[in-house]
Amino acid sequence: MKCTNRKLTNCIIIIFICLSMTGCKADKYAMAYNRNSNVSSFRFSEEKAEESANGFATDLCVTLKASVSANDVQIEESAAALLCDLNKKEILYAKNQYEQMEPASLTKVMTALVALKYGNLDDVYTASSNVLITESGATLIGLKEGDTMTLEQALHGLLMSSGNDAAVLIAEGISGSVEQFCALMNEEARALGATRCSFKNPHGLTEEGHYVTAYDLYLIFKEAIQYDEFNEIINAPTYSTVYKDKEGNSKELSCESTNLYIKGTYSPPENVKIIGGKTGTTSSARNCLILYAKDTAGNPYISVILKCSERGILYEEMTDLLSEIGH
């Protein structure tokens, strides 16, 4: 019995040694690598190259740097700044572009973008009691409960006069409530890649947890200027219209741009034309401005400044920033 077991063991050892010496041929690749084969799983067919998807950032200005310097630009009184060349997809200047800050009424760019995407300009909205904002210093277009106006009229009041009551009217008209509208604002921002912002209201009045970055604003503004109506509104120096109160009586609305470049108070560099933009001011966010501009050849740019100490300095530093265009 012992002899039989010993013979069996010896046979197993001999078989193992033979397999080791000859190489086990049991495992074979179903598709061996062949760089010249059209069916190899390791080779991309040149004929199918056109079907590949473009990268997410193909059409974006991208850099990992928080700051990008330029020889002729000195931004000292503003906490953040950004200048993007949309055609070259290049960031010409950046200061703290990824730092989270309060946007004040630059928030209304996101509000307008969502409204233009989900609403119709001829839609008529009715103001609720929530348009009666009493916060000190809040800019209003004078809406009262029961007033009705179209989305087109409300957008002029939102972007030109920076009406916080217009923002509430639009939010409730689109989504039924401010809370649901803000959820949609944040959803749309994420879809654009604006992942470091958070919107708690549609107007930009100070609220905990409400913040953006200069880069996120670039992404949002870049999407907004795809809408002709948005560009027309931010380019207009004045606007007048008539809407209705709850009894159906006519009420006049006159808007004037808060953008001092559009009003002619300040002038950009000679080789730059300001198409339009959005201003923002609160005691906490200080003075903010985002602009859509073009050079003499028609090439487009977006510039942003956040948290500047004074309004006059805001425009001086923005002009300095725009001077980098064409260099």
pLDDT, one tens digit for every residue, the chain (327 residues): 444 455 555 555 555 555 455 444 444 545 554 545 545 444 444 444 445 455 556 677 776 666 666 667 889 999 999 999 999 999 999 999 999 999 999 999 999 999 999 999 999 999 999 999 999 889 999 999 999 999 999 999 999 999 999 999 999 999 999 999 999 999 999 999 999 999 999 999 999 999 999 999 999 999 999 999 999 999 999 999 999 999 999 999 999 999 999 999 999 999 999 999 999 999 999 999 999 999 999 999 999 999 999 999 999 999 999 999 987
Pick from 295, 299, 285, 296: which is nearest to 322 by CA? 295
Residue 175 lies in a domain: yes
Instruction: Tell me the CATH number at 190.
Output: 3.40.710.10
Region for residue 111 given its phi and psi (left: phi exceeds 0; alpha: psi -120 to 50; beta: otherwise):
alpha
Q: Nearest 5°: CA angle at 310, between 305 and 313?
A: 65
Residue 5 lies in a domain: no
**Strand 272-282 with 250-256, pairing:** unpaired
Marked catalytic residue, from 105, 257, 303, 323: 105
Tally of CA atoms within 13 A in the half-sphere of 16 that contains its CB? 6
Q: Nearest 5°: CA angle at 301, between 89 and 321?
A: 110
pTM of model > 0.85? no
Sign of the four-CA dihedral 134, 189, 262, 239: negative
284 carries an active-site annotation: no
Marked catalytic residue, from 78, 161, 162, 175: 162
Residue 143 lies in a domain: yes
Pick from 24, 6, 26, 25: which is nearest to 16 by CA? 24
Which domain does 287 fall in, by range?
78-322
Distances (CA, A) of 228 to 5, 184, 198, 233, 235: 90, 22, 26, 9, 11
Contact 209, 197 (CB under 8 A): no
Residue 64 lies in a domain: no
Q: What is the largest CA-CA distance in the chain?
A: 115
Collapsing DSSP to helix, strand or coil, 224 comes out as helix
Marked catalytic residue, from 108, 200, 278, 307: 108
What was the pLDDT predicted at 136?
Answer: 87
* Total domain count, the chain: 1
What was the pLDDT predicted at 26?
Answer: 46
What was the pLDDT predicted at 46?
Answer: 45
Residue 270 lies in a domain: yes
Helices (H) and strands (E) in the chain — how many of each?
Answer: 9, 9
Residue 177 lies in a domain: yes
How many other β-carbons are positioned within 10 Å of the β-carbon of residue 319? Answer: 15
Contact 148, 129 (CB under 8 A): no
108 carries an active-site annotation: yes
- The end-to-end CA distance of the chain, in Å, is 96
Distances (CA, A) of 88 to 91, 168, 217, 241: 9, 37, 19, 39
Residue owning tokens 């380019």: 235
69 carries an active-site annotation: no
Residues 6+ apart with CB under 8 A from 26: none
